[in-house]
Structure 1
Amino acid sequence: MLNLTLFIVSYLGGFIMAFTSHTAWAFMLYQFIYFMNPLGRWWSYMIPSISYSFFTVILMLIVFTWKLKEHSQNRLMAAPQFKWIFMIAAGYAIASGYASLPSVHSDATINFIKMVVILSVAYKLVDTSNKLDGILYAYIAGTAYIGYLAYQVGRDSTGRVEGIGTVDAPDSNGIAAAIAPSAVLCLYFFWIHNKKLAKFSIAVAGAFIANAIVLINSRASFLAIIGGNLYFLAYMFFSSHQRTNQKSSAVAVVFMGLIAASFLIDQTAIERFLSIKEQEMTEEQQTGATRVFFWIAAMDMAKDHPFGAGAAGFEAHAPEYLPEDMDTGFSRNRSVHSTWFEALTDLGYPGIFMLIMLLYSSFWATRQTKKELARRKDFDNYYKVVAIEGALISFIIAMSFMNRFRAELLYWCVLFTACAYNIYVVKQIAEEEPANSRRRVRQTRSPQLKGS
């Protein structure tokens, strides 16, 4: 009943808050419903079988139209990331003409274009620092819910947690990658908040998230959490932009993290993580290391399909490029197990180029944002942007070992960077320009006044 009550309160509350508080609540509700995945849970028989995400998107469009004049000031193309998002969408549309699996590619293209529309509206809705905080909190809340489910379900006979995923991340590795970036955001908010209740709430959410990663036992997500959090902690300790007692706080956070890890991590998790270095690349036995053969096959495939073979193109052509005597398990039509090579085989060389440029433009935007915030000595928001970078780095690490080119979480992380750039750079420049213009007018008029 707790799951059902949480869903009903969240869904109805989100609709009300979108009209009575601020419109970004509509996207915040969409984020939480994405993780709740109500129709995919055991308690779905107690609710009507309708698309709750669809009606949440309708809510986003309604509140966007309701305050169109206000939201139209957020120009999509002011954020360079959206140019590459649109180009990737165009790439999938063009590939529809030659995709090896037309029906699979058609579904993937339609879903991707829907996601682009949602991202575009969300960018329009999130136009203040508080709203950016809101969607980061909503993401943390959603991942904490997954952590709660993992705690409820527990590991199966294989030593992992299955059946708690979302629509586009149903498997254990996919959902682990989806929640891993939120750990660094928890770290930031725990550090930045002064109120004990806020710290406690973030600590509880972080504990559920960390416990879920341990229970799910995804090696890629272990690496993702380590990479993203180390990036943030390195900034805390070595950056020249320091808040009061920042270095001692960084040491304290590391110490508390190690204590928490000693309670959460069990022998099963340790053995699985250590298996990363133990596995050997072999054709005779399928292991995690054999995915290197998939990546080599993807590069060979790209020579014959320079513009890709559409969504799931590698799966369609894998038998042609994998070694004949290689053990691939139950089927030779296997996933390429890397977003980089998924982009290469889906959309060819243009695909991998667009993915690289999407990520480059995201980090370019955050770099400009950090410069602007450092100039204003706004270090609280400066480290928020560092945490957003850490979240994106976490997902990049995880996606390097699984197919996540069209995953919502990749583009959510990119959206966070775009919103931060718009709020702290684009809008700030727009606000300063009228003041600068008035200053220039006064300066040009002052000699005339003196000479009169």
Structure 2
Amino acid sequence: MSKFALLFLLVFFGGIVAALMYSGTAAFVLYQLVYFLNPDDRWWSASIPGLRYSLIAVVLMIFVLVTRHREQAAKSPWLAQPATKWIILILGMYYFMYLHAINPVAHDKFTFDFTKTVIIIAVAYKLIHSERALHAVMWGYIAGATYLGYLATVTGRNAGDRVEGIGMADGTDANDAAITLVPAAVILMYLAWMGNFKTRVLCVLCGGLIANGLVLINSRGAFLGAATGVGIYLLYMLFSRFQKKGQRAMAILIVVGGLSGALYLTDDQFWGRMNTMQDLEDKSSGAGRMEFWWATFTMMKEHPAGLGIMGYQQISAAYIPPEVRGKVEKRAVHSSWFQLLSELGWPGPILFFFLLMSLLKVNRQAKKRLISEGRTDEYFRIVALEVALLSYMVSASFIDRFRSEILWWMILFVAAAGNVYYLQFQEHLAHRRLGKRQSPNATEMPT
């Protein structure tokens, strides 16, 4: 048995024991690791039993949710989170689109997959019921992303100037793998900033592998997303009104370290590919994809109800000239925003907009509460998660990944932060008010 196979089995069965004996949150962390390790498609898979590891992890999540509902899961009620109704409406729209889907076979398959993702996110939301749980799943994501970066490093560029064949079960393309790593840049900045010396060393090691993976995979969209996320978070560190000791110095150190690392890791192939974004006339460049995007509006004029999943690809040849799409008959729209528009029609982007706004509204209240209590560390944790989601959406603007698991993990993390730092606090206040009305002479408990 290979060392990787043995390590995987130790992690897998150790995760099961941790979920059953220690904390239900470990069940979702185990699911995160299985997602990234993707044992069915790795070279070491022949050395392990042919089990449905991902399904086992999900069943474990549901089991600990049911058995510990009063103890833990009741702290995260679904209906108290405003984003819940928008997620349900988006999922409901995919089922409604069975009436209009141009490719019903693909629509059926991927709607079922998206339903599974929503169920997993719903269960995980219940399990991320505390600050420690939120911290654990952030590290679970970083651990998985680090493995993907390591895999890219040891594999090397095996398809011209890119790395192929290292993705996850829901995305095997090089761009799919690269965009998965993007939010890690911001989250690692936060973890390194707030951690002790050992944590910072660990973050540097993880960050080096992840950054090298991004360089080797050579995705222009991932580069834009990572640069946007890192840039925005650095601006928060430098110019936020809420400062802690050494904050600006740490930001400057990150800039110097990041630039030094970039100069060391990047090569001519990387910069050559990034430079193609400047050529607006080159149809093979990222900018040339805008013609794919504009074709969506023409399709919507003739199919205002939407096309369903893979509907855009089905009829793209009739809307995109051969000189633009090349020899490929079925072109993807290459943007999650326009993917959503083509799949669900105009209600899709509108519902997703309200979903994002509901998350930001709750988290704005959470940040106000944290600042009023002088808890700047937790304030910047929420900011990091919001910026991580933003960085993913920037990258997803150049690839069809609306139904990807990592996007919904980022939404989950932001929603869980709003619950832990605001919704639970509001629920506690409501119980105290109710207790006072029922027992006027009761002594008020401290916050």
- Aligned pairs, number: 441
Choose from 366, 374, 391 the match for 2:363: 366
Q: 1:168: which partner in 2?
A: 170
Residue 351 (1) aligns with residue 356 (2) = no
Q: Report what 1:219 is aligned to.
A: 220
2:287 corresponds in structure 1 to 289
CA contact (8 A) 1:365 1:417 kept: no
- Structure 2 matches for 1:248-259, cutoff 5 A? 248-259=249-260
Kindly indicate whether residue 72 of structure 2 is the aligned counterpart of residue 74 of structure 1: no
Task: Work out the CA distance in 1 between the residues paired with 2:29 and 2:442.
Answer: 49
Task: Report if aligned partners of 1:188, 1:384 keep a CA contact under 8 Å in 2.
Answer: yes
CA contact (8 A) 2:103 2:310 kept: yes
In structure 2, what is the Cα distance between the partners aligned to 1:138 and 1:149? Answer: 17
Task: Report how far residue 443 of structure 1 moved.
Answer: 8.5
Residue 389 in 1 paired to residue 390 in 2?
no
Deviation at 1:329, TM superposition (A): 3.1
Partner in structure 2 of residue 301 of structure 1: 299
Task: State how far apart, in whole Å, the 2-side matches of 1:2 and 1:361 are.
Answer: 45
Matched, 1:191 2:193: yes
For 1:410, the equivalent position in structure 2 comes to 407
Q: Distance in 1 between matches of 2:140 and 2:99?
A: 38
Q: Which amino acid aligns with 1:43?
A: W
> In structure 2, what is the Cα distance between the partners aligned to 1:110 and 1:268?
39
Where structure 2 has 5 or more consecutive residues not aligned to the other structure, the ranges are none
Cα contact 1:281–1:292 (8 A) shared by 2: no
> Which stretches in structure 1 are left out of the alignment for 5+ residues?
447-452
Assess, with a 3 A threshold, how the Cα gap between structure 1 residues 122 and 201 changes in structure 2: closer, same or farther.
same
CA drift of 1:306 comes to 1.5
Decide which of 127, 131, 134 is 2:129's aligned counterpart: 127
Partner in structure 1 of residue 103 of structure 2? 101
On the 8 A contact 1:150/1:161 being kept in 2, the answer is yes
Whether the 8 Å contact between 1:184 and 1:232 is mirrored in structure 2 is yes
CA contact (8 A) 1:81 1:414 kept: no
Aligned to 2:241: 240
CA distance in 2, matches of 1:178, 1:364: 26
What is the TM-score of this pair, normalised by structure 2? 0.95
Matched to 1:375, the amino acid is S
Structure 1 counterpart of 2:36: 35
Structure 1 residue 441 displacement after superposition = 8.7
How many angstroms apart in 2 are the aligned matches of 1:329 and 1:13? 50
TM-score norm. by structure 1 comes to: 0.94
Letter in 1 for 2:314: A
User: How many angstroms apart in 2 are the aligned matches of 1:269 and 1:294?
Assistant: 25
- Residue aligning to 1:449: none
Which residue is equivalent to 1:322? 320
Residues 83-135 of structure 1 show CA distances to partners (whole Å, capped at 9, x for unaligned) of 22111110111111221111100011111111111111100111000000000
Matched residues, percent identical? Answer: 37
Aligned residues of 2:192 and 2:203 also touching (Cα < 8 A): yes
Q: Secondary structure in 2 aligned to 1:181?
A: helix
The alpha carbon displacement at 1:330 in A equals: 3.5
Note the aligned Cα RMSD (angstroms): 1.8
Q: In 2 relative to 1, CA 39–441 (structure 1 residues): closer, same or farther, beyond 3 Å?
A: closer
C-alpha displacement of 1:439: 7.0
> Which letter maps to 1:337?
H
The answer (yes or no) to whether the contact 2:363–2:422 under 8 Å persists in 1 is: no
Distance of aligned partners of 1:321 and 1:202 in 2 relative to their CA distance in 1, 3 Å threshold: same
Contact 1:281 1:287 in 2 (8 A): yes
How far 1:201 moved relative to its partner?
A: 1.3
Kindly provide the CA deviation profile for residues 160-211 of structure 1, in whole angstroms up to 9, marking residues without a partner as x. Answer: 11110001111010111111111110110001012x2222112111111111
**Which 10-residue stretch deviates more, 268-277 or 334-343?**
268-277
Deviations 1:195-231 (A, max 9, x none): x222211211111111100010001111111111111
Partner of 1:14: 15
SS at match of 1:96: helix
CA offset at residue 151 of structure 1?
Answer: 0.8
Question: Which residue pairs with 2:374 in the alignment?
Answer: 377
Query: Cα distance 1:445–1:163, how it changes in 2: closer, same or farther (>3 A)?
Result: closer
Distance 1:2 1:357 in 2: 47
**Counterpart in 2 of 1:430?**
427
1:335 aligns to what SS in structure 2?
Answer: coil
CA distance in 1, matches of 2:123, 2:90: 18
Query: Judging changes above 3 Å, is the alpha-carbon distance between structure 1 residues 445 and 316 closer, same or farther for their aligned structure 2 residues?
Result: closer
CA offset at residue 316 of structure 1? 0.9
Aligned counterpart, 2:209 = 208
Equivalent residues of 2:29, 2:136 under 8 A apart: yes
Cα shift readout 1:224-281 (whole Å, capped 9, x = no counterpart)? 1111111111111111111112111111111111111111111111111122113425
Q: Report the counterpart of residue 92 of structure 2 in structure 1.
A: 90
